[in-house]
Structure 1
Amino acid sequence: MENNYNLIDDQEDDSDGAAYICHISDFSTINGYVFILFTIISVIGNTLLICVLVTQKVLKFVTKTFILNLACSDLIFTATLPFWAYYHLHHWVFGDFLCKFMTAVYFVGLYSSIFILTGMTVDRFITVVLNKWPNNSLRKRCAVGVCVAAWVISIAVSPYDASKMQVENDSYCEAYSEAELGYYLQVSLLFFLPFAVIIFCHLSIIRTVFQATNRQRRKAVGIVFCIVAAYFICWGPYNFLLFIKSLYQPSGCKAAQRLETAYNICRILAFSHCCVNPLLCLLSQRIRRHLLDLLKVKTIFQKNFLPTFFLYTNCIYKYIAH
């Protein structure tokens, strides 16, 4: 969709000061096809990751619990991408209910991931820096409790965001203009507050880990650190730009063009995060090994069981036909 701004371009000669419409470059086609690509990669990667985590003992219970919930969060977020892809390639044809419902699902995936990442980081902080867990059983219960709380809070908060969405002109699923300021501020704050907690915890973790001489201890926080860093590399610029958009109104067409270009690039980077976690988990040699074992099992199944199954099915069909 083309974005239009009612602006006065400072660099144009407009003696009567009348506002006019700026025609901003259209990123809809690029966004649509990129979202389809993200959907395919995310579904394959996160499904395989969940299969490995569920069927194999590749990680300790607490880390596995957090990563498993993150994979589910990514899949929930990914479930909305085909709708946004179609929306960008054509227009919104799914009605007002799905406009609100898909927005709610989008925010469930978004909020749950940041809350789970915060819980994962706090767990690492307590384990590495404070070393205060009285026993492993309590740590496991806390991990499960944090994940449950993350889902409950995300599901409870997301309808409020969805209520600000509406279908305009039977073609656009957007936040109504009166709600845009609060919408951008809320999303930004729900990102930056956990971000502050995570930054504090990780600075403490890094200092403690690099003071230690135990190389295994450094490796123990490696995957968690990469997952958290990747989240903020992907989502940080986008949320920062949302915060800017809530406070800044471009004064000319060129400024509006730059803002819109930056917004679309940052959104693509943010949405790519749903594909990242499975790739980062492959940094673990154990996960790579078990994934290869899982793929080998599927290959053997396809080569041996499926041909036999189809042969017997064909024989039964011929018997019944005659």
Structure 2
Amino acid sequence: MAFNNSTVNSGGENYSDEHCERLFDEITFSGASFILIFILSIIGNCLLLYVLFLYEKLKNVTNLFVLNLAFSDLMIAVALPFWAFYWLQDDWVFGNFACKLVTAADIGGLYSNVILLTAMTVDRFITVVLHNMPRNQEKRWKFAGFSCAAAWIISISVSVYAATNVSVKTLWFGRSWCVRKYNNDKAFYLAVSVLFFVLLAIIVFCYSAILKTVLQASNRRKHRTVVVVLCIVAAFIICWVPQNVVDIILYFFGPKGCYAWQHLIIALSICQVLAYSHCCMNPFLYLLSEKWRRHLLELFSCKKVRRIRDKERTTTTCINQKVAFISQSSAVVFEPTCS
């Protein structure tokens, strides 16, 4: 969830930029970054979904995970214009309901992302590392469907609980903030953090085994497939782990004085931009796959449209030829064969 720069509430102490000098302009930095990420994410993920439905049509399990990850990224992206305006204006003007809804989209997108990536990694682990085991395609699809359903159920449950713990707080100088109750139910935030790092440990373990297996194999095509998924997982780790670490520091320790507050604000600003940038990375990471590059090039070069027009033109020509030959002879009819 985007964090308002004006105050840090921890242990009953408030430190605000009204009392502490800013070390850099985190307001402009975060607001402009959120807008840019929003634009790239909407374009990239919508294009990804279009290509997925146009060319792939969920032909394999990986595409099912890709579909759900795209929707998860879009959930995070739709919240960014609200956070951008919030940062730039230092005032929440959208009301209490929007505060809860945007928070729910944020948290739901994050945890559906990590659960889906864990399931995708386990699927790749079974396919690559345990390839000698008897495999049933129907069971694999059931696992993928169950994993996606579980990801959304768990993430929505967590997001609803988180949304109940945020509200709009109006301060004496007229500004409103959409803030979390940092000291409310620390056990919940601890459980959520533990869930994140447990799933992260599973991802790291599975991919360590996958890399070991791939390095011993000679199938280049399998290498490329694994590299794409590995890059997706690596991007998630790089983007989201720093944010979760800073959140833990904020929840359980908090700043002690202006010096700590200043550096916490800098860390939060950078980590949040890094975290949110993840929702626009996946479409670009898929370009590492030769198949996705081919689909994208075909889409933009309109080859599919040209093929359809050529086929229609060929069919029309064949029909005209057929009619011409029939009219020339009523005894012997020669009908050209058209493919």
Q: Are 2:259 and 1:254 equivalent residues in the alignment? A: yes
Q: TM-score, normalised by structure 2?
A: 0.79
Shift of 1:198: 0.7
How is 1:187-266 mapped onto 2 (pairs within 5 angstroms)? Answer: 187-266=192-271
Q: Are 2:20 and 1:22 equivalent residues in the alignment? A: yes
Q: 1:15 maps to what in 2? A: none
Counterpart CA distance in 2 for 1:48 and 1:186 is 36
Q: 1:96 maps to what in 2? A: 96
Counterpart CA distance in 2 for 1:220 and 1:272 is 23
Counterpart CA distance in 2 for 1:297 and 1:168 is 52
Q: TM-score, normalised by structure 1?
A: 0.82
Counterpart CA distance in 2 for 1:127 and 1:118 is 14
Mark the CA change 1:133 to 1:261 in structure 2 (over 3 Å): closer, same or farther.
Answer: farther
Deviates more, 1:213-222 or 1:86-95: 213-222
Deviates more, 1:79-88 or 1:181-190: 181-190
What secondary structure does 2:20 align onto?
strand
Q: 2:85 maps to what in 1? A: 86
Counterpart CA distance in 1 for 2:79 and 2:304 is 31
Q: Are 2:134 and 1:127 equivalent residues in the alignment? A: no
Query: RMSD between aligned alpha carbons?
Result: 2.6
Counterpart CA distance in 1 for 2:70 and 2:242 is 22
Shift of 1:218: 1.8
Say how many residue pairs are matched: 290
Give the gaps of 5 or more residues in structure 1.
Answer: 8-19, 302-322
* 8 Å CA contact 1:58, 1:287 repeated in 2: no
Counterpart CA distance in 2 for 1:5 and 1:199 is 33
Which amino acid in the other structure matches residue 93 of structure 1?
V
Shift of 1:187: 4.1
Shift of 1:190: 3.0
Shift of 1:137: 2.0
Q: Are 2:2 and 1:3 equivalent residues in the alignment? A: no
- Give per-residue Cα distances to partners, 1:246-295, cap 9 Å, x unaligned: 23233332222122211211111011001100010011122112112222
Mark the CA change 1:292 to 1:59 in structure 2 (over 3 Å): closer, same or farther.
Answer: farther
Counterpart CA distance in 2 for 1:65 and 1:136 is 14
Which amino acid in the other structure matches residue 57 of structure 1?
E
What secondary structure does 1:166 align onto?
strand
Q: 1:16 maps to what in 2? A: none
How is 1:1-322 mapped onto 2 (pairs within 5 angstroms)? Answer: 2-4=5-7, 21-25=19-23, 26-57=25-56, 61-90=60-89, 91-131=91-131, 132-169=133-170, 171-179=176-184, 181-182=186-187, 184-297=189-302
* 8 Å CA contact 1:227, 1:280 repeated in 2: yes
Structure number with bigger Rg: 2
* 8 Å CA contact 1:223, 1:283 repeated in 2: yes
Counterpart CA distance in 2 for 1:55 and 1:299 is 10
Which amino acid in the other structure matches residue 92 of structure 2?
W
Identity over aligned pairs, percent: 48
Counterpart CA distance in 2 for 1:5 and 1:247 is 12
Counterpart CA distance in 1 for 2:303 and 2:247 is 44
* 8 Å CA contact 2:166, 2:181 repeated in 1: yes
Counterpart CA distance in 2 for 1:199 and 1:279 is 22
Counterpart CA distance in 2 for 1:216 and 1:189 is 36
What secondary structure does 2:183 align onto?
helix
Shift of 1:21: 4.1
Deviates more, 1:132-141 or 1:106-115: 132-141
Counterpart CA distance in 2 for 1:299 and 1:65 is 23
Give the gaps of 5 or more residues in structure 2.
Answer: 11-17, 307-339
